[in-house]
Amino acid sequence: MNSPGDNDDKDAPAPPTHCPSCRSRDLITSAKSIDKNTYWRCVACGEVWNLGRRQSNRSQNFPTYGSGFRRQP
């Protein structure tokens, strides 16, 4: 397994610095090369995520207020 610091590819995104759920810094991955689709696991809480899906889901799950929403009279 690789640790967040084991990134040899110069074009790969920076690995996560902490777990999005519990903020632990104890992260691992089984990927041979790190890219935006690499899945990460938090050793502390067991959360599994990948940076690419997490960023794209964030914009879909949370509406932007101020446009598209009208108050019903």
List, as one string, the DSSP characters of 3-46.
Answer: -TT----TTSPPPPSS-TTT--S-EEB--SS--TT-EEEETTT-
Mean pLDDT for back-to-back runs of 10 residues, the chain (73 residues): 55 86 95 92 95 67 50 57
Residue 5 has a pLDDT of: 54
Give pLDDT, residue 54: 74
pTM of the model: 0.61
Q: What is the pLDDT of residue 52?
A: 80
Contact 47, 19 (CB under 8 A): yes
